[in-house]
Chain A
Amino acid sequence: MNRLTIAWRNITRNHRRSLLTGGIVAFGFASFALAGGFMAQSFDGLRDNAIRSGLGHVQFADARAFDQSEETTLQFGIGQTGKAMQVLRADTAVEVVMPRVEFYGLVSAGGRSLPFAGIGVDPEAEARGSNIPRSVHQGQWLDAKDRGVVIGGGLAKALNARLGSSVTLLATTSDGTLNAIDATVRGIADISIKELSERYLALPLPLAQELLSAPDTVSRISVILKEPAREPETAARLVEQLKQSGVTLGVKIWRELAVFYQQVRMLYLAIFGFMGAVLLVVVFLSTANATLMSVTERTREIGTLRALGARPRRITSSFILEGALLGLASSVAGTVLSLLITFAINISNIEMPPPPGSVKGFIISVQIIPSAYLAAATAMMITLALASFFPARRAARAPIVESLAHV
């Protein structure tokens, strides 16, 4: 016989009430765990999207490019790109190296001219390291040997351009003069962010460098790593290797560049924290009545225990232990419930409406996050222990003769 055994017997002596209280806690636990799992899934999706939309795990550029805006095209461009690319590709931790030229210009087709946000890329590297090629839903992705471009669906619509349409690209070169080239629409991309879809234009790196009259120059080099968990160490090592080769570049980890990801993450955490707090208050209030009833029903028993020599603190702690134990048992039930709901959601392929700023919905998915389960169990145990504490303390301090006379 130990206190845990006694606590468990006291929990089970009123099956119906304990089941009701446990049910409330189990649903509270499941809400907590599922929200955590959904949030983690959303974070993962956002992170992957940020990395695979061109940021890479680490990004190299002229140090000034991270803090300042360019006044002229490729003002902070990286020269000697070939040498830098060679060093980066040689490192065993690197999976893909994606050089990029970013610039703005005008695109004309059929008498209409519209501004575009241009990006010159290595088509083969992008196909391996980014999600952008997979967004092409009409036509094909870029080919380095071809003078074809890929434009956003919104831009294609605005230009009234189709696959095979001829377009003229006009941009300011790095030395400030205007240059123009002709190209063909090779593909149309389904870009989920509406504003970007109306401006997006990708072209092979050599074609972009020709347009900007900047051979062997890029704006940034994005790198996909084989082991993303070791980003900071790898980034530092790569910077050192580049320096030893005579190329001095600044470096940023994707987290430092993904402003949108950080904002959404903070927003989610704030919402989750608030909802969690509300949930705990609801569980506390729902279970407090049950624990109060339990303590009140056992008033005479409390008086007896005190007559036998139990100190008030021992009686209070016994009720706290019962609360915590019920919280733990309910959390076990909540774990089973959460796993079942997670499984059901993940196989149901429920499509959610597009998030703000996006034109594409997504399939809802929930991850199993052990830390969320642990946090939920701890929160539920503490909540029930607290719900038991207040009535138990009051009952344990009541005059013994009054407790013994309680009917």
Chain B
Amino acid sequence: MNATPLLSGRGLTKDYPMGAERVHALRGVDVDVYPGDFLALRGPSGSGKTTLINLLGLLDMPDKGTLLLEGRDTATLSENERADTRRDRFGFVFQSFNLIPVLTAAENVAYPMLLKPQPRRPSATAPGVALPPASMQLWRAALASILSAKAEPPGDMQARAVDLLAAVGLAGKEHVRPDLLSGGQRQRVAIARALANHPAVIFADEPTASLDSRTADTILDLMKQLNQERGVAFVLSTHDPRVVERAARIIALHDGAIEEGAI
């Protein structure tokens, strides 16, 4: 690919303590993720797929190596900036769906939107009238956060959540809670949630591992469709050959190192 990479990792290394020893989960991996990519990380259990996804998704920090996000070194990001980046630029799909059980399907999809800061409303204060003290404004903001916590007008959020659910084939399931959905439906909700804030890339860690064969095919087709229609990049970790069949590029990992180049 000739495009500028969205994410560029060089020499990514990660060790984990296991008892008195350290396990080398990643040993100096180089990887690029491009806009609109459909990248599969393939390899057996323990090869470092999940670790690499965690590093690329800013869920974890490498022990060595650099990871650039659109040219910026992610090591310089604060904890809050990393959280904001995950919220605004990334989406996540987990093997066991990880939906919030007390929220309906639509609320699960809308949740990442709620995490966005409330846009400032134009001030209604007349010229020359003093604003409340900063402390008062903070209290008001905190109270508003508790009582509404809406990043967008509720109608817009709701409408977008409904649209996303429809896009993943779950029209009419907006008010259903996760425990009443099938595994495939839950994963669709998770995909819709990952799309909530218009991400540049969605990380999916073993997205088909908890699904039956037919549902897995459907979910993978859906991901491919979203990748092509919306231009959102997908990075999937898997040892499912069906994922590999659909991938634009494949990185094979073995014992924490790249075994084979991109296809």
| Interface residues, chain A, with chain B CB atoms under 8 Å away | 1-4, 6, 9-10, 13, 300-301, 304-312, 314, 321, 399-401, 404
Contacts and interface: CB of A to CB of B under 8 A. Distances in A.
A3 B107 CA distance: 12
B87 A308 contact: yes
B160 to A, nearest CB: 13
A3 B146 contact: yes
Contacts of A304: 92, 94, 98, 100
Interface in B42-86: 54, 57, 59-60, 79-80, 83-86
Interface residues of B, number: 34
Contacts of B107: 1
B86 A311 contact: no
A1 B157 CA distance: 10
A401 B148 CA distance: 30
B248 interface: no
B202 to A, nearest CB: 12
A310 B88 CA distance: 11
Interface stretch (B111-119, B209-217, B239-247): B111-119
A372 B214 CA distance: 63
A94 B255 CA distance: 97
B176 to A, nearest CB: 15
Nearest to A314: B115
Interface centre among A301, A399, A401 (most CB of B within 10 A): A401
Contacts of B19: none
A385 to B, nearest CB: 12
A260 to B, nearest CB: 45
Given A1-B114, A3-B146, A308 B79 contact: no
Interface string B127-170: 00000000000000000011111100010000000000000000
Contacts of A13: 101-102
Contacts of B197: 309
B31 interface: no
Chain A interface main SS type: helix
B60 A301 contact: no
Given A2-B149, A4-B146, A301-B100, A309 B94 contact: no
B102 A6 contact: yes
A404 B94 contact: yes
Nearest to A399: B60
A2 B98 contact: no
A271 B100 CA distance: 46
28 contacts: A1-B110, A2-B146, A3-B145, A3-B146, A6-B103, A300-B98, A301-B100, A304-B94, A305-B100, A306-B83, A307-B57, A307-B86, A309-B83, A309-B84, A309-B85, A309-B115, A311-B79, A311-B80, A311-B84, A312-B79, A312-B83, A314-B115, A399-B60, A400-B59, A401-B60, A404-B59, A404-B94, A404-B98
A2 B110 CA distance: 11
Contacts of B92: 304, 307-308
A311 B83 CA distance: 6
A310 B147 contact: no
Contacts of B80: 311
A310 B193 CA distance: 14
Contacts of B154: 1
Chain B CB within 10 Å — which of A307, A312, A314, A404 has the most?
A307
A401 B59 contact: yes
Given A308-B115, A309-B88, A400-B60, 16 more contacts: A1-B154, A2-B148, A301-B98, A306-B83, A307-B57, A307-B59, A307-B86, A308-B112, A308-B193, A309-B112, A310-B87, A310-B115, A311-B84, A400-B59, A404-B59, A404-B98
A6 B112 CA distance: 14
Contacts of A321: 146
B87 A309 contact: yes
B54 A401 contact: yes
A400 B80 CA distance: 13
A202 B254 CA distance: 106
Contacts of B79: 311-312
A310 B84 CA distance: 8
A310 B151 CA distance: 13
Give the most central of A1, A6, A9, A304: most B CB within 10 Å. Answer: A1
A3 B114 CA distance: 10
A300 B101 CA distance: 12
A180 B102 CA distance: 90
A4 to B, nearest CB: 6
Contact of A9 (B84, B86, B102): B102
Contacts of A310: 83, 87, 115
Contacts of B100: 301, 304-305
A2 B150 contact: yes
Contacts of B83: 306, 309-312
A4 B147 contact: yes
A2 B147 contact: yes
Nearest to A397: B79
Nearest to B149: A3
Smallest CB-CB A-B distances: 4 pairs: A309-B87, A9-B102, A304-B98, A309-B86
Given A9-B102, A404-B59, A308 B94 contact: no
B183 to A, nearest CB: 17
A308 B86 CA distance: 6
* Most chain B C-beta atoms within 10 Å of own C-beta, residue among A10, A13, A300, A309: A309
Nearest to B145: A3
